[in-house]
Amino acid sequence: MKKYRVNVNGTNYDITLEEIQGDFTPAAAPAVAPAAPAAPAPAAAPAGGEQIKSPLTGTILDVKIANGQAVKKGDVIMVLEAMKMENEIFAPCDGTVASVNVTKGTAVDNGTLLCVIA
């Protein structure tokens, strides 16, 4: 056994290390559980529509639109919680909702397709 004094961020620690002689083979790594199946991919966006993507990483708290619903520029279409703040997502144009790609409770990354307005 060897004793050492280590200084970490201004605090001294006394440690003791055991010296190992001979061939040292590390223990086998623990078995890793199989990965969970991937979430299903969101539906493809219809061609020619205005794609509304998530501006932040967060969780969808509310979806205020449905497929086929008419929306006007500036209407609140979703509420996204990011960093403990509720952020309203507004329709950028007039049109009809062609697809809604998320539901309440969905976790989204920055740039995730939320919906398409045609």
**If you average pLDDT over every residue of the chain, what do you get?**
83
Q: Map out the domains of the chain as residue ranges.
A: 50-117
Chain segment 23-51, per-residue pLDDT in tens: 666 666 556 555 555 544 444 545 578 99
What pLDDT was estimated at residue 100? 95
Name the phi and psi angles at 95, rounded to 5.
Answer: 160, -165
Helix H, strand E, coil C: the string for 4-72 is: EEEEECCEEEEEEECCCCCCCCCCCCCCCCCCCCCCCCCCCCCCCCEEEECCCCEEEEEECCCCCCEEC
* Mean pLDDT within 11-22: 80
Judge whether residue 78 has pLDDT over 90: yes
The CATH topology of domain 50-117 is OB fold (Dihydrolipoamide Acetyltransferase, E2P) (2.40.50)
Of the CA atoms within 13 Å of residue 73, those in its CB half-sphere come to 4
What pLDDT was estimated at residue 51? 94
What pLDDT was estimated at residue 11? 87
- The pTM assigned to this predicted structure is 0.59
